[in-house]
Structure 1
Amino acid sequence: MKKRFQAFTRAHGLDGFMVKSLAVALVLAVIAAICLGRLACVQLLEGRATAQAATNARTAKIVSSANRGKILDANGTVLAQSVERYNIIGVPDSATSFTPVACGSKQAESLGYCHEIDGKPVGATGAAAVARLLAPILKMDAMELGAMLNGTGQYVVIKKDVTPQVKRQIDKLGLYGIVYGELSSERVYAENTLLGSLLGGVNDEGRGAAGLEQTLDKTLSGTDGYTVYQRGNGGEVIPGTVTESKDAVNGKDVTLTIDADVDWYVKKVLTEGVKSSNAQWGIAVVLDTQTGGIVALEDSDQIKAGSDEAKLSVSRAVSQTFEPGSIGKVPALAAILQNGAHKITDKFTVPYEYTKSNGQKFHDAVEHETKHWTLAGILQNSSNVGMVMASENVTSQQRYDMLTKFGIGQPTGLNLPGESQGVLGTPESWDGRTKDTILFGQGYTVNALQLTRAVSVIANGGVMRQPSIIKSVTDADGHVTDETHGEATRVIDEGVSNEIKNAMESVAEEYKNTASVNGYRVAAKTGTAEVVGSTGQLTSIIADFSGIIPADNPRYVVTVVMLDPDGMYGGTTSGKLFAQIGEFLMQKYEVPTSTPRTDAIPVEW
């Protein structure tokens, strides 16, 4: 082979140098051919994929967060809203190659910004320099910040929920492509303790975690939007590269029937009343009889809306159940009258103590001589004995049916978080004593909302309105949907209702020194019930008072409940708080004063 090559070169007059040159040229030609082949492959076969990969590297999808809807009171006062906040995001890949711009340099002059700390050079480069610049603004440790940014990757959350002011300070640093703000929001609430547990709170993802925030979560939550675009090296949008976008749709605003002014005053009255009477707790409800709207719903617990405690608690005003005591005489009297067992004017001779044929013994709360009372007088004097005597011809089923018609043991329909419907046994479960104790509010339990709804039947002429706490819902386009309930169910005849209201007005006159409202007639019923205390024995007292004001033109039902107040009796304890709340309502809403009472049903004979 070698001899043939030498013969070839001699025959063509090629010397050694020319041979080497030809060899080099051949090698170069091969290399050029390979390069041209690869270029053709990239351009013709892989060009589209390569271009797409480059586009993908530049393409970003930015989510635009929807705002959570507001919760407002009946007058438009904001109780809960989401405010603009930013999550500060770092890009470690860019931070590690950062070099501060020296102030006074030509680079600073051309860029329009420079980097220094307290008038001095940053004194570092890379992630450490970025951390030193950010730490004072974010009020974070520079070493901790540096560790977060010293690595690889395109996304690390440095700090959540900073204010727009802080975000603007960071923007002025000129850390483009290294640190930026991602729009977020924070839920804030009006008044530290206003409706704390009832409003509840949201979790870290901004979803309802407790209270109304949870039950209304679907209504309040919006739908996030997004924008797809190509970005430059500094993270800026390249003009004309937006390929897809969808606007965020904010959540709906919910307006409650609650009047924040009234609720605030009720909270104040409860807090002061519980403290002054050394009670364990207090609850109050204000219901508008004309609309069924809950105007105030408070308890004495001091829980801040949105707090961890609010997220772990339920409102005592809806969850706490208790035996109502003598307020239970209202539906019991309705059963007597509606079923025709007696008339409101029927006369009774009522001893302090009474023993039934089955051996069950009953007595009144206060010892007294044998009295001559009408049925109206039995209610006025809150006689347990009188109620047992007057109910002899009312069957257990009739008693039960009337209680359920008044909403005892039934859900209120408000669907409030943590709401308990209480306990009401069936007639089959009643023993020989319970069938009579239910006549004076013992042997079953209610919450304050149920008790208020029951008394509202009398205020509404024998009709039960479905109570509401949601007034309306407004969507992102401003369309308003009325959420109040128009349903109403007749429970007893209007004439029967008016007779009971008349008797309840006589009850209120017994407490004119503690529970009256100057210029306004009141129809009310008090209650005092022994309940189980901390020892498991009947050592505690529920003292409650529920009244209709004005009695001659009902506008509101106000119920106040306290546990273990000094003074014990509902009329002289919770009744005082009723009077304060009632006076405030009459003044705030400018309710006309009452006409004189001229139709009182006789209470004695």
Structure 2
Amino acid sequence: MSEQNRFSGKRRLVFFIVLGALALCVLGRYAYLMLGKEEEGGGARTAINAGRGPILDRNGRLLAFETRLGNITLWRPEMKNSAELSTELAPLLETSPVDIRERIENSPSDFVYLKKRVEGSTLTLIEDAIAEKKLQGVGIEPIVGRIYPERNLAAQIIGFTGDEGMGLEGIEFAFENELAPSTGGTRRSGNQVFLTIDINVQHILESIAGQIMKDSRAESVMFLAMDPRSGDILGSASLPGFDPNDFRNSGENTRRNNPATWPYEPGSVFKVFSLSALMDSGAISGNTIFTCNGHYERVSSRGERTIIRCLAAHGRVSARDIIVYSCNTGAAYAADRIGTDPFYALLKDYGFGARTGIGLPGETAGLLRSTERWSDRTKPTIAMGQEIGVSALQMLQAASAVANDGIMKPPRIVSRIVSADGKISREYPSGESRRVLKAETARAMRSYMTDVTSSIGTGWRANVEDLSLAVKTGTAEIIDPQTGSYSTTDFIASCVALLPAEAPSLILYLVIVKPQGEILGGRIAAPQIREAAEALINYLGIPRGRNPQIAHSGAVSIPAVPYPAVNETVPDFTGISKRQLLPLLLRDDLTFQISGDGWVARQSPAPGTPLAADTVIVLEFE
């Protein structure tokens, strides 16, 4: 053999030795990972540390949080008897043996999903059965699930997540990067998102809205509450609603956040803004008189005749009378006192035709056409609340200017972002405030609206004893999409209230879409405003004649909310609330499975049990 051939042979030998060593390393690493994972997993136990941050109301009440869920699977080659297995699994999965057996036998694949998104208590029972060598072939595919403990309450605002744990709608979608951030590809605990919503206020609004839906057989209802001083949305009911825990069984119309996304013609409530804008511009004054003989009529230079009907012939009317009687004729004649472009500019200044910037997905800008597309009828018609599309949020925003002596405060729904360790990482102030009206104009308009609750006003049914309300009612026609003209059967009834009228700290706005039977806002919306006001005045501590306000220094000492220390053993959680548990729920080294509401009534493992890396702490609330 030549020297060159011997050298080539040695090179081949070295190559195969190196290749073999690399293969052994790869196999060894694979075995280590597999065995290590098996050992860490603790057999059938599946522990997942929640990463997505919670959503909370303004007082720290949980609205959305992560918990351990799992998909129950079957590998058919390991199954002995489908009938026996179905009988054993049926009570655990709360379904019939027939359904399970059909799912098994009709599957085209050996791998079968028996049930998805099973909650932790059921997972524990199945894990125990698997550990006892029962349920051959059954496995658990661990997933992190999102729980919405308040179910339908504020569901359209909160939104929901999909199977991959990403937000699909609402705050879950809009604040995806805050709730579930990633760092270098490694997932870490997400931030906490605090809303301005007060769950108790939300419950009051949704309860009243639900009764309205039942009594009026309306297509939908919106009921909102806002603090005009801060722009905080305290409650925003939108019915019909849905349960985000079971969003797949809901329709698109129930998931839509109507107060933010749906534009509609507001009707006579809009006179508050058109009349105050006209007064502020100097086009009219509080002493300007118009004559209402039951209709407005104007013939343009081109011979175009415009006629707008009024509910009655009100005779001589001032700006106050137009608001008190909701006079269409007076509002239309008042609009004739200003040019088209200046009137358009005043409406834009109120925020109509633009998004409020609240940060909710799909927010509408409404509809305020450019003046080039206005007819001779447009200006007087807009003055009475038609030929303009608004959102409920835009109406609240505009109302804040009347409430705040002319300063408009944009609404906000998120107050702050707090990191998992409890540090505030970002405040979320509302948008920039700006002056829309002179202070005296806003006060005059509130005075007019207060008279709406008098015996001669359209909103007398909203009157609350010992407290003055500034109110405006409305009844708007709805365009029939089939004919392109206003429907003779479908209407929107509404009412807005600022309270107390002298210095408002609360705005209530109710919209009833397509009520059946009674349709006038003064008759079906005003009484519900009174009901909500009565409840919220007491809850929010708004001073009234029989509920006087007590002055104090303003310094309040609030003790820290205690929570059990978790060290080497499982503590006693009995009697602990969810809010007290929040710091523990956000820890990456602990895995909780919780169910129910209220306070901890039962737990597993028992207090004093040594705490292992794979321990799942099961808490049942009542």
Scaled to the shorter chain, the TM-score interval is 0.7 to 0.9
Change (3 A) 1:40 1:543: closer
2:531 aligned partner: 580
Amino acid at match of 1:59: L
Structure 1 residues not aligned, in runs of 5+: 1-38, 97-125, 227-245, 596-605
Amino acid at match of 1:346: T
Query: Are 1:548 and 2:529 counterparts?
Result: no
Equivalent residues in 2 for 1:345-384, closer than 5 Å? 345-358=287-300, 360-368=305-313, 370-371=315-316, 373-384=317-328
Q: Distance in 2 between matches of 1:403 and 1:410?
A: 10
Whether the 8 Å CA contact 2:404–2:504 is kept in 1: the answer is yes
Deviations 1:37-83 (A, max 9, x none): xx999989844642442332332486965432212111222122221
Give the CA deviation at 1:87.
4.7
Runs of 4+ residues deviating >6 angstroms: 39-45, 129-135, 142-148, 155-158, 175-180
Equivalent residues in 2 for 1:159-308, closer than 5 Å? 160-169=116-125, 170-171=127-128, 173-174=130-131, 183-223=142-182, 248-306=187-245, 307-308=247-248
Change (3 A) 1:143 1:56: farther
Amino acid at match of 1:431: S
Give the CA deviation at 1:443.
1.0
Range with greater deviation from structure 2 (580-589 or 181-190): 181-190
Whether the 8 Å CA contact 1:458–1:497 is kept in 2: the answer is yes
Q: Distance in 2 between matches of 1:369 and 1:209?
A: 52
Equivalent residues in 2 for 1:311-322, closer than 5 Å? 312=252, 313-322=255-264
Structure 2 residues not aligned, in runs of 5+: 1-12, 38-46, 547-622
Q: Distance in 2 between matches of 1:464 and 1:77?
A: 29
Looking at CA atoms only, which structure, 1 or 2, has the larger radius of gyration? 1
Give the CA deviation at 1:202.
1.6
Change (3 A) 1:523 1:46: same
How does the TM-score come out when normalised to structure 2?
0.72
1:56 aligned partner: 30
Q: Distance in 1 between matches of 2:514 and 2:350?
A: 27
Give the CA deviation at 1:549.
1.1
Amino acid at match of 1:200: G
Change (3 A) 1:548 1:59: same
Task: Tell me which of 315, 329, 347 is aligned to 2:271.
Answer: 329
Give the CA deviation at 1:545.
0.9
Change (3 A) 1:357 1:127: closer
Change (3 A) 1:576 1:161: same
Give the CA deviation at 1:216.
2.0
How does the TM-score come out when normalised to structure 1?
0.74
Amino acid at match of 2:444: E
Range with greater deviation from structure 2 (411-420 or 572-581): 411-420
Give the CA deviation at 1:190.
2.7
Give the CA deviation at 1:506.
1.6
Whether the 8 Å CA contact 1:362–1:385 is kept in 2: the answer is no
Whether the 8 Å CA contact 1:215–1:417 is kept in 2: the answer is yes
Deviations 1:139-197 (A, max 9, x none): 4757977999x98xxx9977654444444442464479997756432222133422233
Q: Distance in 1 between matches of 2:102 and 2:376?
A: 76
Give the aligned length.
502
Deviations 1:385-440 (A, max 9, x none): 22233333311111111111111111121232333222111112111111221111
Identity of aligned residues (%): 27
1:136 aligned partner: 88
Whether the 8 Å CA contact 1:501–1:523 is kept in 2: the answer is yes
1:567 aligned partner: 518
Whether the 8 Å CA contact 1:222–1:250 is kept in 2: the answer is yes
Q: Distance in 1 between matches of 2:472 and 2:404?
A: 16
Whether the 8 Å CA contact 1:338–1:492 is kept in 2: the answer is yes
1:493 aligned partner: 438
Which secondary structure does the structure 2 equivalent of 1:321 belong to?
coil
Change (3 A) 1:323 1:41: closer
Which secondary structure does the structure 2 equivalent of 1:458 belong to?
helix
Which secondary structure does the structure 2 equivalent of 1:591 belong to?
coil
Equivalent residues in 2 for 1:310-459, closer than 5 Å? 310=250, 312=252, 313-358=255-300, 360-368=305-313, 370-371=315-316, 373-459=317-403
Change (3 A) 1:57 1:548: same
TM-align CA RMSD? 3.6
Q: Distance in 1 between matches of 2:292 and 2:105?
A: 85
Amino acid at match of 1:521: S
Range with greater deviation from structure 2 (58-67 or 536-545): 58-67
Amino acid at match of 2:401: V
Q: Distance in 2 between matches of 1:160 and 1:279?
A: 36
Which secondary structure does the structure 1 equivalent of 2:88 belong to?
helix
Amino acid at match of 1:515: A
Whether the 8 Å CA contact 2:73–2:115 is kept in 1: the answer is yes
Change (3 A) 1:165 1:544: closer
Give the CA deviation at 1:587.
0.9
Q: Distance in 2 between matches of 1:186 and 1:44?
A: 47
Deviations 1:445-504 (A, max 9, x none): 112111121112100111111210111212222122321326211112112111111112
